[in-house]
Chains A and B, each alone.
Chain A
């Protein structure tokens, strides 16, 4: 049995009755796929294809319409979600709270989801900071004292601090410059090897997708149109949408 199974996951934002004249209802799904332990699954697709929404549905950031997300065969709900599936948002000025220190930011998930005493929380936070390549001293830092790359590492630390099994990352490298981006990619690969994490990785950057992922899903208009091992997909895309994306990617490489 696979680690994470997604069964008939659906979403529609059909309006409540009192909202009149809302056009362009977005439907997603039904989506089915499996993720194994230590595997990286990438989701690619054009803008507005529902990639980020799928990520949010899996983590529960957006309530799902129908279907199930199973972890080791157990359906995810409010109480077991935070300990098993975590989300990293794309880097932006809003991804970290400017008013509280990094230590307090990382303490929050521990406070809410574990019963650790304060001293153990402190140790856990310092260990996690080291894990993502920051210093224990960063415990006392505030957002404005950190570089973009360090901020993204803090966001990653926040996701990893509860020892999750699956991490869903929505464009985690989008706003980072190439050198910091490669550092962060390498960090992710290292962590995956160390912790046996499964990654669901949502990105526009097909170069990184090809580099890190085992399997790739192509989304188009709210549906998964192709689900294949990355090498197969890049060598021989089947669906029209995948062909467009992949040919555009290779065309750019040739220039």
Chain B
């Protein structure tokens, strides 16, 4: 009969404990909310834009934001040198920059975690060859590797994504391998192996639950690098090309009229800043939440 009674107590999972610890910090929550707003804008932005991002309107060139004396409410954040609406372009720009970063981080994560798991679960020469070759790559900044790869493949957003994705893989390989290796030496893996568990089973049932949070922390760090690098390559005219509403490209285009229309640089720049800041805050708080969650 006792089995039939419902559980009225909550037993927080490790994830529940992490979330409880995470929301203790107001800064972390603020960052989390800002990040979620950006995610929402990235998904829904194109549905909300008042103008087409490419639509040029020579009647309204370099209009100020609406709160200035010569601004109009028709263009809330003003217009750029060819009369494109700033707000529409920023909403699209969030989708391009943030979306491209998320995609490339996901790709790098899948490849990196797979390689890292193979390196961690194998022993000896095979594992260390894979690991140390990638160590060499980690010594070079990702932006530099990305520029080299772009120089070989040619400019363009998709090539920039490919380049940054390749440059980010070693981070995931390294983090995954470290965790998997320490896990593999623990007694509970030995007991699982005595039960007759296969490698796949050991990974899926015993290692993955402990690995997943390390990967998520690593992914947030990689995401902030990816956002910065995508916009940096756009700014340097190596990534996304002029027509595409990408935040880095918008900063570069605004730069030519920066003295008479500073908002053309300010708004996309603020956007990149807030994106990177919120991603970093969330990643950092997540890391400390994971570290502290079991102490109380």
Q: Which of B13, B188, B191, B196 contacts A113 (CB 8 A)?
A: B196
Name the distance in Å between A63's Cβ and chain B's nearest Cβ: 11
Is B210 on the interface with A (CB-CB < 8 A)?
yes
Residue B126 CB within 8 A of the other chain: no
With CB as the reference atom, state the residue of chain A lying closest to B190. Answer: A61
| B3 contacts A108, C-beta separation under 8 Å | no
What are 29 contact pairs spanning A and B, CB under 8 A? A61-B190, A61-B194, A79-B196, A81-B196, A82-B195, A87-B194, A92-B187, A94-B188, A95-B187, A96-B188, A97-B209, A97-B210, A98-B294, A99-B206, A99-B209, A100-B206, A100-B209, A108-B192, A108-B195, A108-B197, A108-B206, A109-B195, A112-B196, A112-B197, A113-B195, A126-B3, A137-B7, A145-B11, A158-B191
Quick one: which of A100, A144, A145 has the most chain B CB within 10 A? A100
Task: Give A residues with C-beta under 8 Å from B.
Answer: 59-61, 78-79, 81-82, 86-87, 89, 92, 94-101, 104-105, 108-109, 112-113, 126, 136-137, 140-142, 144-145, 158
Nearest 8 Cβ contacts at the A-B interface: A99-B209, A94-B186, A140-B11, A99-B210, A97-B188, A109-B195, A89-B187, A144-B294
A-facing residues in B272-296 (Cβ within 8 Å): 294
Which chain B residues in 123-145 approach chain A with CB under 8 Å?
A: none
Do B11 and A97 have beta carbons less than 8 Å apart?
no
Q: How far is the CA of A86 from the CA of B195 in the complex (A)?
A: 9
Majority-rule SS of B interface residues: helix
Say yes or no: B14 contacts A142, CB within 8 Å: yes
Inside 8 A of B193's CB, which chain A residues have their CB? 61
Distance A99 CA – B208 CA, assembled complex (angstroms): 9
Q: List residues of chain A with CB within 8 A of the CB of B196.
A: 78-79, 81-82, 112-113
**Contact in complex: B194, A95 (CB < 8 Å):** no
Given A89-B187, A140-B11, A141-B11: A98 touches B194 (CB 8 Å cut-off) = no
Instruction: Determine whether B20 belongs to the interface, using a CB cutoff of 8 Å to chain A.
Output: no
Count CB-based A-B contacts (< 8 Å): 71
- Apart from A112-B195, A136-B3, what 17 extra A-B contacts exist at CB < 8 Å? A59-B194, A61-B190, A81-B196, A82-B196, A89-B187, A92-B187, A95-B191, A96-B188, A97-B209, A104-B205, A105-B188, A112-B196, A112-B197, A112-B201, A140-B11, A142-B11, A144-B294
Q: List the B side residues contacting A113 at CB < 8 Å.
A: 195-196
B205, A100: Cβ atoms closer than 8 Å = yes
Q: Which of A86, A94, A105, A145 contacts B187 (CB 8 A)?
A: A94
Give the residue of B14, B191, B201, B205 whose beta carbon is less than 8 angstroms from that of A98.
Answer: B14
What is the minimal beta-carbon distance from B146 to any residue of chain A, in angstroms? 34
Contact count band on B: 20 to 34
B47 at the interface (CB under 8 A from A): no
Chain B residues with CB under 8 Å of A108's CB are 192, 195, 197, 205-206
Q: What residues of B have a CB within 8 angstroms of the CB of A81 in the complex?
A: 194, 196
Query: Chain B contacts of A95 at CB under 8 A?
Result: 187-188, 191
Q: Which residues of B contact A137 (CB under 8 A)?
A: 7, 9
Q: Which of chain A's residues have a CB closer than 8 A to the CB of B195?
A: 82, 108-109, 112-113
Residue from the list A89, A109, A126 in contact with B190, Cβ < 8 A: A89
CB 8 Å contact bits of B205-216 with A (1 = contact, 0 = none) = 110011000000
Least CB separation from A95: chain B residue: B187
B residues 160-219 near A (Cβ < 8 Å) are 186-188, 190-197, 201, 205-206, 209-210
| Chain A hits for B206, CB < 8 A | 97, 99-100, 108
Which chain A residues lie closer than 8 Å to B13 at the CB level? 101, 142
Alpha-carbon gap, A92 to B185, bound state (A): 13
The interface residues of chain A lying within 8 Å CB-to-CB of B188 are 94-97, 105
> Which residues from B are CB-within-8-Å of A82?
194-196
Residues of A within 8 A of B73 (CB): none
A32 to chain B, nearest CB (A): 23
CA of A135 to CA of B248, assembled, Å: 59
**CA A136 to CA B14, docked complex, whole Å:** 20
Is B2 in the interface zone, CB < 8 Å from A?
yes
B217 to chain A, nearest CB (A): 15
Which residues of B lie under 8 Å from residue A87 when comparing CB positions? 191, 194
Q: Which residue of A lies closest to B11 (CB)?
A: A140
Binary contact readout B1-19 vs A (1 if CB under 8 angstroms, 0 otherwise): 0110001010101100000
CB-defined contacts of B210 to chain A, threshold 8 Å? 97-99
How long is the Cα–Cα vector from A94 to B191 in the complex, in angstroms? 11
Chain A min CB distance to B266 (Å): 45
Give the CA-CA distance A140 to B8 in the complex, in Å: 12
A79 to B294: give the CA distance in the assembly, Å. Answer: 38
CB distance from A13 to the nearest CB of B (A): 15
Q: Is the CB of B3 within 8 A of A89?
A: no
Distance in angstroms between the alpha carbons of A99 and B13 in the assembled complex = 8
Complexed CA–CA distance, A137 and B7 (Å): 9
State A112–B191 Cα separation when bound (angstroms): 12
User: What CA separation (Å) do A89 and B185 show in the bound complex?
Assistant: 13
Distance, CA A128 to CA B285, complexed state (A): 39
Closest B residue to A109 by beta carbon equals B195
